[in-house]
Copies of this chain bind each other. A is one copy, B any other.
Amino acid sequence: MSRKPRLRSGTGITMHDVGQAAGVSAITVSRALHSPERVSPALREKILQVVEQLGYVPNRSARQLASARSHTVLVLIPSLSNTVFIDALAGIESVLQPAGYQMLIGNTHYSDSEELALLRAYLQHSPDGLLVTGLNQLPAFRQIVAQQALPAVYMMDLSEDDRPCVGFSQEAAGASMTRHLLERGKRRIAFLGAQLDERVIKRLHGYRLALQEAGCHDPALEWLNPSPSSMQMGADMLDALLAAHPDCDGIFCCNDDLAIGAIARCQQRGIAVPAQLAIGGFNDLQAAAWTTPALSSIATPRFDIGVAAARLLLQQLNGEAMTSQKLDLGFQLKIRGSS
């Protein structure tokens, strides 16, 4: 029985080694580490000491393989470069970390198919649960989630079916900003949209709704660009919009990036904000408060959404009844100088 020892990472010290050094069996070490109440206090103490002394590092793969629970949660977000999702991530981390769960972060790059591919790939880690951004996953995605009975919580929006979710009404938020601009006396209000993910589209719906109510909806004022948004794009869209519709007196930008670019361009062109042109953004990023004039925006509870979604997931994982299937965390209209 003389096999070549394999090269392997890790200390090479196993639970068995710890047991021997402490004069007990491996399973007792396992219990001392994971269910301390099942080992006598003196022995537990001794085992922990040996663990420390030998620098023992448990092997998660082996544990996972033997026990079925992975203590791992897969988090899928559309982008790493959008602060919105990073904030949510921070909220999630603040709940999962203390609970002993580790996050696997998947960046879908706003792509349905990549989202599906990531799910497939990360399934190899057999995550115990799933936190997903948005509600519009591909059928194959939903099928896998259903088939594997993967506990999942959906973030950033409110579902109309029975999927557990935490978010706010993107549509209502879009309508809210639009109504605010209407209240400021603006009638020719444009919509600048980029990226055009499901959330942007819902904000657009809210915008339309509010303008239709007020009887001044004009489809020609909807400017949509599926490319990723940027401040440069905001500036460019502003130029194009004003060239085509000089009578435009208000703009609702689907996010703050666009709005910051637009407001800077106004500054450069000497366009009076808000007198001549009122501008509203979305998300209330840090920078929104520091433009000239400061940008009105919709503050969204990203961090809290992350926290609540993670909590909801943990409840499912622990087999507890969920306190609530759907959590509407609302939003807040921040009125500043730009409107």
Using a CB–CB distance below 8 Å, which chain A residues touch chain B? 6-11, 55, 57-62, 64-65, 68-70, 80-81, 83, 86-87, 89-90, 93, 102-105, 107, 120-128, 147-148, 150, 230-232, 235, 257, 260-261, 264, 267-268, 286-287, 289-292
Contacts and interface: CB of A to CB of B under 8 A. Distances in A.
A245 to B, nearest CB: 23
A32 to B, nearest CB: 16
Given A10-B126, A93-B107, A124-B57, A230 B286 contact: yes
Contact of A231 (B104, B147, B148, B286): B286
B286 A264 contact: no
A62 B125 CA distance: 10
Given A60-B125, A287-B231, A68 B292 contact: no
Nearest to A120: B57
Given A11-B147, A57-B120, A68-B8, A231 B290 contact: yes
A59 B65 CA distance: 8
Given A9-B69, A58-B124, A80-B89, 15 more contacts: A9-B68, A9-B128, A9-B148, A55-B147, A59-B126, A60-B125, A60-B126, A61-B70, A62-B65, A90-B107, A104-B104, A231-B286, A231-B287, A232-B289, A287-B287
Contacts of A70: 9, 61
Contacts of A57: 120, 123-124
Contacts of A105: 103, 105
A126 B9 contact: yes
A59 B127 CA distance: 11
Nearest to A267: B292
Contact of A81 (B10, B90, B126): B90
A168 B81 CA distance: 22
Nearest to A107: B93
8 contacts: A11-B147, A81-B83, A81-B87, A81-B90, A102-B121, A231-B290, A260-B287, A287-B287
What are the nearest 6 A-B pairs in CB distance? Answer: A8-B68, A60-B124, A61-B64, A264-B290, A61-B61, A61-B65
Contacts of A127: 9
B65 A124 contact: no
Contact of A123 (B6, B10, B80): B10
Contacts of A87: 81
A236 to B, nearest CB: 12
A122 B103 CA distance: 11
Contacts of A86: 80-81, 86
